[in-house]
Amino acid sequence: MALDNTQESGFDPGYVANLEHKFKKAWGQNFLRYQKDAISLLKSIDLEENTLVIEVGAGGGALTEALLRRHFRVLAFEIDLSLRDFLNERFSKQLETGELHLLCEDALQIDWRSLFKSELNLAVISNLPYSETRELILKIYAEVGEKLEVLALMLQTEAISRLTAASSKQSNYQAKLYGPQAVFTQLLFAKACSQKISASAFYPVPKVNNSFVTLVRDKGKFAKCSSLLAQAKLDLADFFPYFADFLQLVFKQRRKQLLNSAFSSDEQQAALAFFRELELKASVRAEELEPLELFQLAIAMYNKENKKSD
């Protein structure tokens, strides 16, 4: 069921109407207008007690407040310095108690691995900036994927299709949508749950359709990835950044044979040996491989490259 607010009932002027803010299209700023919408979106999300929630783009604070009402511990990024005073005033109590930490920084430029090194579990719950959706999601997976308990994002419908795309052996497979984001998603999470959101729930009103998608860690899938890395004597946190780069490389020319598009002439013999080990045909393309096959191939290549550099 879609959230639809065509009336002004439930409108909190603190978010938009009284916020003397120049909305910046370059940063994809479309703020949630209604507090009740933000609260409703979080109803189905349950987190472990020690989980830190990361919000990318606090904006007017509607989602931030809803997270705090759930008694979640929150770290919110906000790149727009013109919102700093507003957010500091609005959440002065929570900032003082430590329930909320506000970073007026570009989330893309921060080293998430270092920043969240001491955290055991993370949840990213955000109304992501439209302009940076793809880059941010890959960064999240690469730098803190092994700590992600929940990924819940407000996204354009097209972006959700790429995030949750089926692989080649599934009935609803679409080659043009299946890529790095979908591979990570299938390796780590259970089936996605999404809820449509009316454009009228935002200000400025976006020209695209939006949904709120929730992904919850699949413990069985996560254990399988961890087991494969343990067998190869690799650390999950160290491997994920390499895996993200590997996926971007192999999907860059998705229609070409993987052997020619992703491996140099010096690497091809070793790659062929890995193909045979994984029972892959020499002419296989990246878009034909299942997430676990890509994961195993990346492990093999990672080990080979590290042995070469030793």
Binding-site annotation, residues for S-adenosyl-L-methionine: 30, 32, 57, 78, 106, 127
In the chain, how many H helices and how many E strands? 13, 9
Binding residues: 30, 32, 57, 78, 106, 127
Distance, CA of 256 to CA of 253 (rounded, Å): 6
Would you say how long the chain is, in residues? Answer: 310
For helices 219-231 and 236-251, angle between their N-to-C axes, nearest 10 degrees: 100
* Cα–Cα distance list, 2 to 40, 201, 258 (Å): 11, 10, 41
Distance, CA of 110 to CA of 192 (rounded, Å): 27
State the maximum Cα–Cα separation within the chain, in Å, rounded to a whole number.
66
- Sorted by sequence, the CB contacts under 8 Å of residue 20 that are 6+ apart come out as none
Task: Answer for the pair 139, 112: CB distance below 8 angstroms, yes or no.
Answer: yes
Cis peptide before 204 (omega within 30 of 0): yes
